Amino acid sequence: MRRQSCSGCLIPAAVMWAILMSGCMMPDHRPVFTPDFDVHIAEDDAEPVAVPDVLQPRPDALSPAEFPKDGPLDLSVEQAVMLSLANNRDLRVRRLGPVIAGTFEQIERGNFDPEIFGEFEYAEEEASETARSTGTQFSVKGHDAFAAGGVRQQLPSGTRVEASVSHERSISNRAPEQQIARLGVSVTQSLLRGFGPAVNLVSVRQAELDTAASVYELRGFTEALAADTEIAYWNMALARKEIAIYEQSLAVARQQRDEVEQRIEVGVLPEIEAPAARAEVARREQALIDARSQLEERRLRLLRLLDPDPEGLLDRAVNTASEPSVSTVPITDLADRLRLAEQLRADLNEARLRLTQNRLETIVTRNGLLPLLDLFVVLGKTGFADTFPDAFRELDGDTYDAAVGIRLSRYVGNRAAKARDLAARASRRQSAEAVENLRQLVRLDVRLAANEVERARKQISASRITRELEEQTLRAEKEMYDVGTSTALLVAQAQRDLLLSQIAEVRAVINYRIALVRLHLAEGSLLERRGVKMAGDLRRDPHQAWMP
């Protein structure tokens, strides 16, 4: 019979009292437990995260350093696209997406890294025992020490391997000192659930596909940014040309008003002719105010995309140097453009990768329907002695331990595994339908964009003819006005029609440029057509992650 000393009974009570008291005092509110988070955040910020070069769009244009630090920006459309790809804040945010996704590849592969482990334990005991035969009490004192270390690893085949070495020392006043050394190896092999690389490497492959999908997502955003920049550039160029037309028409309207007022003064025209000429001047001034406001709005939107100078971003003036005129060519290769879109569209390629991910998931869920059956083998060589060196020398002796067996387990009904498998198969079917739907939408986008290009192309010549005819109409109306067979109102209407035709002619050219940009965006070929290179070919080393 053994009896613990009273001092040993007080220790658990003291520990329990300390735990209860610390809980009542709410230690998380005490200053000693309030860390300085800013210091730790600053330490993390000291290690910047680099974006790999493969994720950086590389346009064949001037570098941002060649632009003036202040003053107006004289930009061509190519330089505007380059600036947006180099400086846009939204794009900087998106570039970190593949970097983050790439870390999950390493996380999943890390499950198969060998693990080194170690353990040390020391125990001490003092107790009293009573001999059953004599009833005599005697004290027992002893202490034990245990140390172990080794390496373990999970293999893609479903095998768990562990090798270890341990040593145990036991000293007591009632028994001789004993030291035990042991070398051990254990192997556990999954035979059904979790068997084979096809199951255990699914998460790694899914992480790789997720990284590739994030690269396609980045590519799609980059293409959209380039398209938005070009469209914003041409819209600003259109606003400038509209202002020039409005200013010219305002000058003509004022000249016409002055001529009418002079004729009224000399009595050639009645007073009722003046309001029409004056109203036309007021109308042109009103249109000019709106045009200048629209130019300022488009300048701000373009600068937001370019972001050339974070400090004085919205104060920079922008001059559009590129001319919108372009040779028009009818679209005769629509079938080729449709095939190109199915190959290059980033969103369609991303959807295909998501479908592959869901197909891989069914491998895991189908394997999860199987019962858990593990075969394990444990082998050990032991040495017993009264000293540390002798214990390890005795490992050459005949003492050993060995075990072999199997473990079997299965849930009755297995409803959770069946539900997961059904969900995975349904997700795979859903993804397949989504890919086909997106493929149809991509083809529709290309056809609609091509139709808009053709419309804008035909409008260029049509609007030019309309403008020429309106000029002839205005000249005829002025000639009739000069001989007294027309009125100032009819002349003002002819001037207004000419103004609208001039605006329509300029808009037709700009709309054609914008329609081409949207067609190339629908095809997924905008970056290549602009000479911009970035991560688009994902046929890379599957073991490479998008990590700095």
**Angle ∠(328,506,448) on CA atoms, nearest 5:** 55
- Distance spanning both ends of the chain, measured CA to CA: 66
Three-class SS of residue 141?
strand
Q: What is the percent of the chain where pLDDT is above 90? A: 45
Beta-carbon contacts of 90 under 8 Å, excluding residues fewer than 6 positions away, are 221, 225
Spatial distance between the Cα atoms of 390 and 385, rounded to a whole number of angstroms: 6
pLDDT per residue over 403-441, tens digit each? 999 999 999 999 999 999 999 999 999 999 999 999 999
Say if residue 546's pLDDT is above 50: no
Q: How many Cβ atoms are within 10 Å of 257's Cβ, its own excluded?
A: 20
Residues in the chain: 548
Q: How confident is the model at residue 6 (pLDDT cuts 50, 70, 90)?
A: very low
Say if residue 474's pLDDT is above 90: no
Q: How buried is 503 (Cβ within 10 angstroms: 0-12 exposed, 13-18 middle, 19+ buried)?
A: buried
- In the numeric block, which tokens belong to residue 415? 């409803």
Question: Taking a C-beta distance cutoff of 8 angstroms, is the pair 60, 529 a contact?
Answer: no
**Residue 397: what pLDDT?**
82
115-130/137-154 β-pairing: antiparallel
**Residue 4: what pLDDT?**
46
Spatial distance between the Cα atoms of 171 and 125, rounded to a whole number of angstroms: 10
Identify the residue with better confidence: 362 or 133: 362
State the alpha helices, DSSP H only, in 111-184. none
**Residue 39: what pLDDT?**
63
The torsion defined by the Cα of 308, 312, 316 and 321, in degrees rounded to 10, comes to -10
The chain-wide mean pLDDT, for the chain, equals 83
- In the numeric block, which tokens belong to residue 5? 């000393």
Closest by CA to 273, choosing from 472, 492, 495, is 492
Question: Taking a C-beta distance cutoff of 8 angstroms, is the pair 496, 473 a contact?
Answer: no
| Long-range pairs for 150-155: beta carbons < 8 A, 24 or more residues apart | 150/116, 150/117, 150/118, 150/184, 151/114, 151/115, 151/116, 151/117, 152/114, 152/115, 152/117, 153/112, 153/113, 153/114, 153/115, 154/111, 154/112, 155/112
* 87-91, 175-179, 229-233: least confident range: 175-179
Q: Which domains, ranges and CATH numbers included, belong to the chain?
A: 202-363+421-533 (1.20.1600.10)
Spatial distance between the Cα atoms of 49 and 548, rounded to a whole number of angstroms: 7
Question: Taking a C-beta distance cutoff of 8 angstroms, is the pair 214, 241 a contact?
Answer: no
Say if residue 8's pLDDT is above 50: yes
Identify the residue with better confidence: 22 or 498: 498
Please give the C-alpha separations between residue 408 and each of 192, 314, 375, 414, in angstroms, as whole numbers.
10, 69, 9, 14
State the alpha helices, DSSP H only, in 88-138. 89-110
Q: How buried is 261 (Cβ within 10 angstroms: 0-12 exposed, 13-18 middle, 19+ buried)?
A: middle
Q: How many Cβ atoms are within 10 Å of 531's Cβ, its own excluded?
A: 13
Question: Taking a C-beta distance cutoff of 8 angstroms, is the pair 280, 492 a contact?
Answer: yes
Question: Taking a C-beta distance cutoff of 8 angstroms, is the pair 494, 470 a contact?
Answer: yes
Cross-strand bridge partners of residue 421: none
DSSP H or E run through 458: helix 415-482
**Phi and psi at residue 485, in whole multiples of 5°?**
-100, 5
What is the pTM for the complete model shown?
A: 0.79
In whole angstroms, what separates CA 253 from the centre of its chain? Answer: 54
Spatial distance between the Cα atoms of 353 and 101, rounded to a whole number of angstroms: 14
Mean pLDDT, residues 84-101 taken together = 88
pLDDT per residue over 35-47, tens digit each? 666 665 555 555 6
Spatial distance between the Cα atoms of 448 and 344, rounded to a whole number of angstroms: 18
Question: Taking a C-beta distance cutoff of 8 angstroms, is the pair 488, 277 a contact?
Answer: yes
